């Protein structure tokens, strides 16, 4: 990965434990691109755990797997930049696996909530938020990662929905927690697309002055 200027600000990068894990991985043959691909595996497992009205075990498993996916997202950058393992294809692996991982989790949540259409819509909007961000970079502007529903916010909402869904499934057969989480991701992602597009338009107008 060699997109240092386009790195998402992540607080956990300064976490001592996370940096220790990254330092250890840097001394192994594991590459940042492989870590990025591992995030897709964890995301796929999370989506599968949520698919088909999950019980408490599926919801808890998904919550844990989502965190592992996010850990991979931190480690790949640390190993690449701080560990000195950048590669020519790093920029590609920095973006594409993230889009796949997002979609697998969100679509799985939609099916688990009994709202597959909302799940697919939320996944499409989530991918679009990244497209708008990267498009701004293609126009020559520094990439920015504002919300209200950037990747970390989407995963926080879904993780909360999974934990709440685990409790809910012990009490009732409804899936209100997952329904709410999926809907919030869809609406929040739509708003994020708008705010990012507006920011780019503002920069274009300013550059034309």
Q: Can you give the pLDDT at residue 3?
A: 46
75-129 residue pLDDT tens: 999 999 988 999 999 989 989 999 999 999 999 999 999 999 999 999 999 999 9
Give CA–CA dist 66/85, Å, rounded: 25
**End-to-end Cα, the chain, rounded Å:** 35
Q: Can you give the pLDDT at residue 85?
A: 93
Task: Tell me which residues of the chain have a pLDDT lower than 50.
Answer: 1-5
Contact 73, 39 (CB under 8 A): yes
CATH of 10-207, one of 1.20.120.1760, 3.40.50.720, 3.40.640.10, 2.40.37.10: 1.20.120.1760
Contact 157, 181 (CB under 8 A): yes
| Phi–psi pair at 52, nearest 5 degrees | 80, 55
Give CA–CA dist 74/177, Å, rounded: 27
Return the residue matching tokens 């799940």: 119
Q: Can you give the pLDDT at residue 15?
A: 87
Other C-beta atoms lying within 10 Å of the C-beta of residue 84: 8
Q: Can you give the pLDDT at residue 8?
A: 63
Q: Can you give the pLDDT at residue 2?
A: 39
């Amino acid at each position: 990965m060699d997109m240092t200027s386009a790195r998402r600000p992540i607080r956990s990068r300064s976490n001592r434990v996370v940096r220790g894990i990254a330092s250890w991985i840097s001394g192994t043959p594991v590459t940042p691109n492989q870590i990025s691909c591992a995030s897709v595996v964890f995301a796929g497992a999370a989506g599968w755990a949520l698919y088909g009205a999950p019980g408490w075990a599926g919801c808890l498993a998904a919550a844990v797997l989502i965190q592992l996916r996010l850990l991979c997202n931190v480690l790949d950058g640390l190993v690449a930049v701080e560990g000195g393992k950048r590669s020519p294809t790093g920029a590609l692996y920095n973006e594409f696996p993230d889009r796949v991982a997002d979609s697998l989790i969100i679509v799985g949540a939609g099916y688990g909530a009994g709202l597959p259409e909302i799940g697919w819509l939320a996944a499409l909007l989530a991918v679009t938020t990244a497209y708008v961000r990267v498009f701004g970079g293609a126009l020559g502007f520094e990439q920015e990662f504002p919300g209200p529903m950037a990747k970390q916010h989407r995963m926080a909402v879904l993780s909360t929905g999974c934990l709440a869904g685990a409790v809910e499934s012990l009490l009732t057969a409804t899936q209100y927690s997952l329904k709410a989480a999926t809907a919030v991701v869809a609406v929040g992602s739509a708003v994020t697309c708008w705010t990012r597009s507006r920011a780019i338009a503002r920069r274009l107008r300013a550059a034309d002055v």
